[in-house]
């Protein structure tokens, strides 16, 4: 069965999203008896002035949030909150087909997504934005037609689209797209006409692309134990086939210094070489491997 469908562009318009980082800024202003606070309503991308009243805060669009709601947001370090009709709603969804629970987890920078409790990006000693930049740098210069095999929150696709002609990004689970709609940092997925989103299994979708189509492939799969077929020799042969001659693959793996990361890296390097890739080299800064056709 071919699960591939193009997803029609749409997003949640003019949304306000808060996390503990921004809610704390508002509480701090209240402690100082300020009448206004400058705070981000899109998880740090822009800043806005909000009015502070004795019982609530007033947002520029007329919505209000009671101080109890602000305190609830401040107390939760694991979820971001969408604000709609003066109510707050945790950004978290359960995917029945995959039996996975997703939640948008704030950081001082871009949020990451927890998949059944595991962060999707590196957050120890770095943040999801810097993690994304290191992946892009490993494959730079990014130009021409790019394939991003696993969309997630879309950060690699959005960053690649800054210099590429066009980016195709694939996501297995439509519920992940629903989280993206609620994440201010993922809006490029819906706004940027240079990005095409596909829903399907990258393993199957890759088979349908013509030979030599992509100048760059960014492969940032779930860990080996969750998606072994995206680390298989047959899949690497497909990636090799659809890469343009002299094209480059970036393959995220995980901490090369961890026992499992080192073992997976050795296997990945060997199978990429067997699939025909040359100059297959670990790139420790990005926790990945770079390979050329
Ligand atoms: C590590 S995240 C990718 C993060 C992404 N690069 C970003 O910038 O946010 C892996 C994503 O791959 C998706 N996924 C898992 N198996 C897949 C498959 N077989 N094909 C396509 N996507 C898959 C997961 O649902 C998850 O959203």
> Do 187 and 247 share a domain, yes or no?
yes
Q: Tell me, in angstroms, the distance from the centre of ligand 1 to residue 86's CA.
A: 33
Nearest ligand 1 atom to the CA of 218 is: 6
Task: Indicate whether 70 belongs to any domain.
Answer: yes
Question: In angstroms, rounded to a whole number, what is the distance separating the alpha carbons of residues 89 and 91?
Answer: 6
Q: Which residues contact ligand 1 via a Cβ below 6 A?
A: 120, 132, 150, 152-156, 170-173, 176, 201-203, 220, 222, 227, 230
Low-confidence winner among 3-12, 33-42, 260-269 (lowest mean pLDDT): 3-12
Q: Tell me, in angstroms, the distance from the centre of ligand 1 to residue 176's CA.
A: 9
Cα torsion 146, 149, 154, 155: sign: negative
> Do 203 and 152 share a domain, yes or no?
yes
pLDDT of the residue at 260: 85
Domain boundary among 66, 90, 114: 90
Nearest ligand 1 atom to the CA of 203 is: 19
> Do 168 and 212 share a domain, yes or no?
yes
Q: Tell me, in angstroms, the distance from the centre of ligand 1 to residue 221's CA.
A: 5
Task: Indicate whether 86 belongs to any domain.
Answer: yes
> Do 157 and 199 share a domain, yes or no?
yes
> Do 144 and 235 share a domain, yes or no?
yes
Dihedral through CA 115, CA 118, CA 122, CA 125, nearest 10? 140
Phi and psi angles of residue 165, each rounded to the nearest 5 degrees, phi first: -75, -40
- Enclosing domain of residue 71: 16-90
Q: Mean pLDDT over residues 161-167, rounded?
A: 98
3-state SS assignment for residue 201: coil
The DSSP code sequence of 84-131 is ETTEEEE-EEEETTTTEEEEEE--SSS-EEEETTEESS--SSS-HHHH
> Do 22 and 167 share a domain, yes or no?
no
Q: Are 216 and 160 in contact (CB under 8 A)?
A: yes
> Do 224 and 166 share a domain, yes or no?
yes
> Do 271 and 134 share a domain, yes or no?
yes
Task: Indicate whether 131 belongs to any domain.
Answer: yes
> Do 244 and 131 share a domain, yes or no?
yes
**How many independent structural domains does the chain possess?**
2
Q: What is the mean pLDDT of the chain?
A: 94
| Contacts for 148 with CB less than 8 Å, ≥ 6 apart | 156, 157, 160, 167, 168, 169, 170, 218, 220
Q: Tell me, in angstroms, the distance from the centre of ligand 1 to residue 35's CA.
A: 43
Q: What is the CATH number of the domain that holds 269?
A: 3.40.50.150
Task: Indicate whether 244 belongs to any domain.
Answer: yes
pTM of the model: 0.94
Structure tokens at 79: 């979820």
Domain boundary among 90, 108, 130: 90
Task: Indicate whether 9 belongs to any domain.
Answer: no
Q: Which of 7, 115, 150 to mutate to test the pocket of ligand 1 (most atoms within 8 A of CB)?
A: 150
Q: Are 83 and 18 in contact (CB under 8 A)?
A: yes
Task: Indicate whether 178 belongs to any domain.
Answer: yes
Q: Which residues pair with 90 in a beta bridge?
A: 81
Residue 282: band (very low, low, confident or very high) from pLDDT cuts 50, 70, 90: very high
> Do 77 and 210 share a domain, yes or no?
no
Q: Which of 97, 152, 231 to mutate to test the pocket of ligand 1 (most atoms within 8 A of CB)?
A: 152
> Do 153 and 215 share a domain, yes or no?
yes
Domain boundary among 72, 90, 108: 90
Per-residue pLDDT for 8 more than 90? Answer: no
């Amino acid at each position: 069965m071919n699960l591939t469908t193009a997803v029609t562009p749409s997003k949640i318009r003019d949304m306000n999203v808060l996390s503990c980082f921004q809610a704390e800024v508002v509480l701090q202003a209240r402690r100082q008896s300020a009448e206004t606070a400058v705070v981000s309503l899109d998880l740090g991308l822009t800043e806005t002035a909000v009015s502070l009243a004795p019982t609530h805060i007033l947002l520029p669009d007329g919505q209000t949030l009671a101080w109890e709601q602000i305190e609830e947001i401040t107390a939760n370090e694991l979820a971001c909150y969408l604000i709609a009709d003066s109510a707050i709603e945790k950004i978290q969804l359960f995917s029945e087909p995959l039996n996975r629970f997703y939640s948008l987890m704030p950081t001082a920078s871009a949020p990451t997504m927890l998949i059944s409790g595991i962060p999707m990006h590196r957050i120890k000693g770095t943040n999801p934005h810097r993690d994304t930049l290191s992946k892009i740098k490993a494959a730079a210069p990014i130009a021409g037609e790019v394939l991003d095999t696993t969309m997630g929150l879309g950060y690699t696709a959005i960053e690649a689209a800054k210099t590429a002609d066009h980016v195709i990004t694939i996501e297995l689970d439509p519920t992940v797209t629903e989280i993206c709609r609620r994440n201010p940092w993922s809006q490029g997925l819906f706004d940027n006409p240079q990005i095409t989103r596909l829903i399907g299994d990258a393993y199957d979708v890759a088979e349908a692309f013509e030979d030599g189509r992509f100048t760059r492939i960014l492969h940032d799969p779930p860990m080996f134990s969750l998606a072994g077929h995206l680390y298989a020799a047959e899949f690497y042969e497909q990636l090799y086939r659809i890469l343009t001659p002299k094209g480059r693959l970036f393959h995220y793996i995980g901490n090369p210094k961890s026992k499992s990361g080192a073992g997976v890296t050795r296997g990945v390097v060997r199978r990429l070489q067997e699939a025909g890739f040359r100059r297959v080299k670990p790139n420790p800064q990005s926790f990945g491997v770079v390979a050329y056709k």
